Amino acid sequence: MRQIGLRRSAGSSGWRRSARGRRWRRVRGVLALAGPLLSVGAMIAACSGAPSPQDVAQSYLADWARQDWSGMRALVSKPPADFTAVNAAARSDLAVTKASYVGGGLTQNGSSAREPVTQHLTIAGIGTVTVRSELKLTSTAQGWRVAWSPATIAPQLGPKDELSLQVNWPPRAQILGAGGAPLTTQAKMVIIGVEGERIQNPSVVQAALLAAGAPQQAVTTALAGAKAHPTWFEPVFTVPIARYQQLEPSIYPVPGTVFQTIGQREPITPGLGLLVGTVGPVTAQQLQALGAPYNAGSTVGQTGLEYADEKQLAGQPGATISVVTATGAAVATVATVRSRAGAPVQTSISPQVQQAATEALAGMSKTAALVAVNAATGQLLAVASNTSGAFDIALDGAYPPGSSFKLLTTTALISHGLTPSSPASCPPQITVDGEVFHNAEGTAPISDLLNAFAESCNTAFIGLATAHLSAADFTRTAALYRLGTTPRMGLAAFGGSVPAPSNEADLAATAIGQGQVLVSPLDMAMVAAAIDSGQVRAPRLVVGAPDDSVRATALPPAVVTDLHTLMAQVVATGTASGTGLPAGTYAKTGTAQYGTGNPLPQDAWLVGFNNAVLAGTDIAFAMVTVDGGEGGPTDGPIVAKFLDLLHQSGG
């Protein structure tokens, strides 16, 4: 456009257009005298390209989205001293990660204008929240400016008020067993923990916690967390209210110990606790891993399935954005987001079978574990552990299997053409590459593989293995039974380890489940299930876990038939006879030496299956008793009790 001349006589007040038609500059006089010219000024601005209220509003909203506080401030009429701080705090207090501000429908009335604003705020871990506010503008000597107040951020926000984000978690979903039966009940519990700034002597705190029964690793982790975050509550372990009342006189007076009473889910049987897991206050390490929307006050899964499926069980939290006064009182609700309930975790655990396993282990003084599997499907029916630690030895323990591994050695021998009637001898000892091996269990005279298996004669199996098998036979047979394959059943578990023997002496040790061979009770229960059904399956626990879709593979028919014959003989006349095992039980005992000492400590094993005690279901099982001695005498009566309880409850 051409320059428009608008001049006043000397001594008057007003504005003068620059030669380029782009800038305005003040001439002497006072702004109040320009009042009558505002409408004319607006017309001039429209012709000259001066920023309109729409232009200013658009620029302000764009700067707001970019968090350009200085740019926003420059567009505000009389911005307060705390303008930047208030705007920045509103965004940080709500944990906004991304924002957009959309205006629409600006209306102008003389020297003022209004534009509704729709704010789309992305809150970490929550989602997008919509807040509606209004941008007010006024015409000033400098042009159109935003008439800012805290209400520009949220209509209910007043001076000195703040915005507060309250995360609202839905009720935690359940962990379910077969048929949708809950595997937990609600109980009053006490979380025993520590707080760094209250600790006077870490050694005293550690000693008190360990004396109360806290796991060593949990104490170490909590004390390290307390040192790093002195004001945080660091949980150590959780006990029922009755147990806390017993511990209170000795642990409560110790400076640094802190306690929280909660309503917590507990497993339907004590032996299921390690599988189901626990819930408790989030630790610093967990908070870093989980991220938003979790905060220092969150309650999360600590162990087991509660930990493994934390986000599925917890669901998606909602949120409430509130206006809070300087005294902390919530006076208005700005916006809300609904929570979404978590989804239950469905498992294959049978409450009936689990109860029987827990009762069978009750009263044992030794650490022990018992796993029961549906042999036809590979589904875990019971996982019971009798241990004071937080480590699930039933699923994740790594133990030498001893003579229970002869199930695999025999599989390899049968694959090489041997049968139950194949000749075998059982000398008191045998030497291989200078290493002397003795018998741990059976010593009766034998003449064939059937009786060598029934009496679990080490020297017989070493003689047969060194004569017929190579290192590759062991790794091949282990792979046939999926030993060495990490289970993907929805919870961490040890898949077993059977390294190739490095020499003849190592081969001899491997043949009797010693050397470098390591397995868990779950691994051996799956071996027993495969021998019962003739199909090798991946273990199944959580519905929808990757192993659910793994196809079964068949064992050679001769292996299945011959092992049934051999395992029946173990119960009839061999190392498991006289232990009370009911009809229909097929088994293999094991005694595994480890560690140091004279005599060496021995773990006791019993592995097998039963097709008679529970109608319609073949139960495969494996039990280990740590430092329990011989497998038959130690584990036989416990497994017998387990099977008898199953028969009474549903056979």
In CATH terms, 53-160 corresponds, of 3.10.450.100, 3.40.50.1370, 2.40.50.100, 3.40.50.300, to 3.10.450.100
Q: Residue 31 above 90 pLDDT?
A: no
At residue 46, the pLDDT reads 43
Q: Residue 7 above 50 pLDDT?
A: no
Report which residue type is found at 405.
Answer: F
Confidence at 599, pLDDT banded by 50, 70, 90: confident
Q: CA 40, CA 55: separation in Å to the nearest integer?
A: 19
Q: Residue 452 above 50 pLDDT?
A: yes
Stretch 508-524: mean pLDDT: 97
Confidence at 32, pLDDT banded by 50, 70, 90: very low
At residue 363, the pLDDT reads 85
Q: Residue 108 above 90 pLDDT?
A: yes
Beta strands, E only, 421-528:
429-432, 435-438
Tokens of 394: 């039933």
Provide the 3-class DSSP secondary structure of residue 150. Answer: helix
Confidence at 441, pLDDT banded by 50, 70, 90: low
Please report, in angstroms and rounded to a whole number, the separation of the first and last CA atoms in the chain: 99
At residue 595, the pLDDT reads 81
Q: CA 201, CA 221: separation in Å to the nearest integer?
A: 16
Q: Residue 3 above 70 pLDDT?
A: no
Tokens of 133: 């506010």
Q: Residue 47 above 70 pLDDT?
A: no
> Which residues have CB under 8 Å from 109's CB, separation 6+?
none
pLDDT digits (tens, 9 = 90+) for 202-255: 999 999 999 999 989 889 989 998 998 999 899 998 888 889 999 999 999 999
> What is 351-650's CATH superfamily?
DD-peptidase/beta-lactamase superfamily (3.40.710.10)
Q: Residue 37 above 80 pLDDT?
A: no
At residue 644, the pLDDT reads 97
Secondary structure letter of residue 77 according to DSSP: S
At residue 164, the pLDDT reads 92
Q: Residue 9 above 70 pLDDT?
A: no
pLDDT digits (tens, 9 = 90+) for 526-553: 999 999 999 999 999 999 999 999 999 9
At residue 266, the pLDDT reads 82
Beta strands, E only, 365-520:
368-374, 380-386, 429-432, 435-438
pLDDT digits (tens, 9 = 90+) for 453-494: 999 999 999 999 999 999 999 999 999 999 999 999 999 999
pLDDT digits (tens, 9 = 90+) for 109-139: 999 999 999 999 999 889 999 999 999 999 9
Question: Is 477:490 a contact under the CB 8 Å cutoff?
Answer: no
Interior CA angle at 52 toward 50 and 54, to 5°?
150
Q: Residue 97 above 60 pLDDT?
A: yes
Tokens of 544: 């929808």
Share of the chain above pLDDT 90, in %: 77
Mean pLDDT score of the chain: 89
Confidence at 49, pLDDT banded by 50, 70, 90: low
Strand partners, 99: 121
At residue 25, the pLDDT reads 32
Count, residues in the chain: 651
At residue 418, the pLDDT reads 98
Stretch 349-359: mean pLDDT: 96
Confidence at 377, pLDDT banded by 50, 70, 90: very high
List C-alpha distances in Å: 165 to 91, 92, 401: 11, 10, 55
Share of the chain above pLDDT 70, in %: 92
Stretch 351-371: mean pLDDT: 95
- Max CA-CA distance within the chain? 133
Q: What is the pTM of this model?
A: 0.77
Read out DSSP for 306-357?
HHHTHHHHH-B-EEEEEEE-TTS-EEEEEEEE--B----EEB---HHHHHHH
The CB-based long-range contact list for 68-76 (8 Å cut-off, 24+ gap) reads 72/146, 75/145, 75/146, 76/145, 76/146, 76/147, 76/148
Q: CA 417, CA 556: separation in Å to the nearest integer?
A: 12
At residue 278, the pLDDT reads 87
pLDDT digits (tens, 9 = 90+) for 333-346: 999 999 999 999 99
Confidence at 48, pLDDT banded by 50, 70, 90: very low
In the chain, which residues fall in CATH 3.40.710.10? 351-650
Confidence at 394, pLDDT banded by 50, 70, 90: very high
Residue scoring higher pLDDT (87 or 3): 87
At residue 181, the pLDDT reads 95
> Which residues have CB under 8 Å from 394's CB, separation 6+?
274, 275, 369, 370, 371, 383, 384, 385, 520, 521, 522
In the chain, which residues fall in CATH 3.10.450.100? 53-160
Stretch 496-516: mean pLDDT: 97
Q: Residue 280 above 90 pLDDT?
A: no
